[in-house]
Structure 1
């Protein structure tokens, strides 16, 4: 069982630090992107083996849902658009527009979707 403590962070960077401590302890590699987070969930390095069945409990998930909600997601997309290359700014603008129309995913939703895409992982929101 792996526990993510939503009380330990209030931003996406803080989430990356928490998840690095929890899933990558005793390694030099740190999570720093959504793709990187997805990659470590395959296992094989860090605290669990490739395709090993695991359970993740996300404590204080409601706090994380608020912290990684509309405002944080809007800032995330706006920063990527400002940076430009190598990001696909047209796609990011589309995602930002969907978010502003309350149709798009928040960062919290994206993280949940990433976890749920790994069939060997059971996620429990606490």
Structure 2
């Protein structure tokens, strides 16, 4: 899925396809396949996703992003936080409870919004939602 590597700046193009997954673990599988084909480890956390983006320069196209917005929306985010609270350590349960409360109150971010924020925080990446 990496193409366009022949231009002067060696910028890449990658496609994340929302039709290939319907949950966060599926998203991690997709980005591992797309962005880390030749690596022997896979992304499995939000921090890990953020980390791999430092080595990428170019365009990331997120196809079926509206589907992903639904799949990684309120309900998935609520379950994500509840599971971390149940697990307890090493997670900061108070912080996660606050994030869950914010989500329920309509002021918190969904997983999809967090992923978009992570992508947009990397100035070396041009994100296109399709």
Q: TM-score range by the shorter chain?
A: over 0.9
- The answer as to 2:129 corresponding to 1:125 is yes
- Corresponding residue for residue 24 of structure 2: 12
Structure 1 gaps, min length 5: none
- The answer as to 2:113 corresponding to 1:113 is no
Number of residue pairs the alignment of both structures matches: 118
- The answer as to 2:44 corresponding to 1:32 is yes
- The answer as to 2:94 corresponding to 1:82 is no
**Higher Rg:** 2
The alignment partner of 2:126 has SS state of strand
- Corresponding residue for residue 101 of structure 2: 97
Per the normalisation by structure 2, the TM-score is 0.89
The alignment partner of 1:122 has SS state of strand
Aligned equivalents of 2:44 and 2:81: distance in 1? 16
Give how far 1:57 is off.
Answer: 0.3
Moved segments of 4+, more than 2 Å: none
Aligned equivalents of 1:41 and 1:32: distance in 2? 14
Give how far 1:2 is off.
Answer: 0.5
